[in-house]
Amino acid sequence: MQRLAPSILSANFAKLGQEVTDVIDSGADIIHFDVMDNHYVPNLTIGPLVCEAIRPITDAIIDVHLMVQPVDRIIPDFAKAGANIISFHPEASNHIDRTIGLIKEQGCKAGLVFNPATPLYYLDHVLDKLDLILIMSVNPGFGGQTFIPEALNKLRAVRKRIDASGKNIMLEIDGGVKVDNIAEIARAGADTFVAGSAIYQAGKDADAHRYDSIIAAF
Ligand code: DX5
Ligand code: ZN
């Protein structure tokens, strides 16, 4: 199953509720929710309060991408706020297995995120416990960056490991995903595609139902 996950990082925050319902009504599957702390990454975005605010307006999966350090203490807040998936970066956690356990204890699905230079050995002892693996195809912190092609090799390697495990683990790609590279990314093994600027920037100046044609193009 392939899923499109618009990143609300590029949405118009002055009308965020509408921006969420619009992409879901236009056929997107997941809301990707980028949390940045101006510490682990050089940008500051949104937290559990915003997650709680959008939870009642959609049944779609809310996929929280934590770019924060420390990680653990914010997890219960996001679970209470209605997150369905919570992903974190191994470098930002002191105890990766513990953080995964904490996410699952809170009733959420757990994801591990790999920056462009993060080695895949972090999967070695925890892959079976994961629900999602997120491969970053940009360095985290900002929307609108250019896709780093090396991410394709990483996707192929992770796809092999997931298939060998026999587990149902989502393989997500995040950063620089566009209409013109998504086919190649899918061939490399991704099944869940985050797209921020390619959806929200493209839709900014258009009319009502403005995301229909943009999302259909993916
Ligand atoms: C970057 C974020 C991404 C970002 C993607 O740190 O994790 O989710 O919003 O934006 P685009 O699709 O514009 O690269
Ligand atoms: Zn993200």
Paired with 195 in beta bridges are: 6
- Tens of pLDDT, residues 122-147: 999 999 999 999 999 999 999 999 99
Q: For residue 21, how many other CB atoms are within 10 A of its CB?
A: 15
Closest CA to 197 of 216, 209, 179, 172: 179
Sequence spans of domains, the chain = 3-217
Q: Is the CB–ligand 1 distance for residue 143 below 6 Å?
A: yes
- Decide: pTM greater than 0.80: yes
- The answer to whether 212 is a known catalytic residue is no
* Ligand number with the minimum distance to the CA of 8: 1
Whether 102 shows a pLDDT value over 90: the answer reads yes
Residue 25 is assigned to a ligand binding site: no
- Tens of pLDDT, residues 1-58: 899 999 999 999 999 999 999 999 999 999 999 999 999 999 999 999 999 999 999 9
- Tens of pLDDT, residues 153-179: 999 999 999 999 999 999 999 999 999
The rounded percent of the chain whose pLDDT value lies above 90 is 94
How many angstroms does the Cα of residue 188 sit away from the middle of ligand 2? 19
ipTM for the assembly = 0.99
- The answer to whether 128 is a known catalytic residue is no
The residues near 169 (Cβ < 8 Å, ≥ 6 apart) are 127, 130, 131, 132, 133, 162
Closest CA to 192 of 170, 216, 165: 170
Q: Is the CB–ligand 1 distance for residue 151 below 6 Å?
A: no
Q: Is the CB–ligand 1 distance for residue 43 below 6 Å?
A: no
* Ligand number with the minimum distance to the CA of 195: 1
- Tens of pLDDT, residues 184-202: 999 999 999 999 999 998 7
**What is the CATH number assigned to the segment(s) 3-217?**
3.20.20.70
Task: Copy the structure tokens of residue 42.
Answer: 């050089």
How many angstroms does the Cα of residue 114 sit away from the middle of ligand 1? 14
Residue 212 is assigned to a ligand binding site: no
Closest CA to 213 of 199, 194, 192: 199
Residue 63 is assigned to a ligand binding site: no
Q: Is the CB–ligand 1 distance for residue 176 below 6 Å?
A: yes
